[in-house]
Amino acid sequence: MKLTFITVLAGLILGLLSSGASGDDIKYECKDLLLTSNGRDQWHPEWQNFKVLRKSETVLHAKCLRNDGKTYRCTRINLNDCIGLQVDSEANTVSLVAEEGGYFNMRCGACILKKTQKSDYIENKLICPYLFAQDWDVDVNLEDILFNDDGRIACNHWRGWDAQC
């Protein structure tokens, strides 16, 4: 009787462990960028260009597609938190910071799943700390200021956006 109880208990524990592990097998692929400026959302699946309106809070989101077909919006990323961007809020300008050789590399966020145990449920949040963009071609003639006359940021070549999270 004791052996049967131990066998059943071990089976239950193994079952719980394996069911918990299957949740960790879910992958998130972050491909689309959401820019929110003055309360308006702009999705850009091709990552070609997006508008930044001056005198506004501008934040980035990444749209993450789960491998079971569900889509999640990651937590927002403020441009001030992006590495490779210099934000001057007083002048309402954003500048790219050039690396050696004249290349630009901006990092803003990729998605990781964070599970937080609340009193009666587990809260799932997607945190986005790193997105990568390289080889920016800025279509303005003022060094590396991102804004052209209509406030648009243009970038022609993108690499490294296959963020697995």
Query: What radius of gyration do the chain's Cα atoms show?
Result: 21
Q: For 55-78, write each residue's pLDDT tens digit.
A: 334 444 444 445 555 555 444 444
Q: For 114-140, write each residue's pLDDT tens digit.
A: 556 667 765 555 444 333 333 333 322
pTM: 0.27
Instruction: Return the pLDDT at 102.
Output: 53
Lowest mean pLDDT segment, chosen from 37-41, 108-112, 148-152: 148-152
State the Cα–Cα distance between residues 114 and 125, nearest whole angstrom.
5
State the Cα–Cα distance between residues 138 and 147, nearest whole angstrom.
8
Name the amino acid, one letter, at 89: S
CA distances from 35 to 39, 78, 99, 108, 112 (A): 10, 10, 24, 12, 19
State the Cα–Cα distance between residues 70 and 117, nearest whole angstrom.
22
Q: For 88-117, write each residue's pLDDT tens digit.
A: 656 555 555 655 655 545 555 444 445 566
Given a cut of 60, whether residue 47 has pLDDT beyond it is no
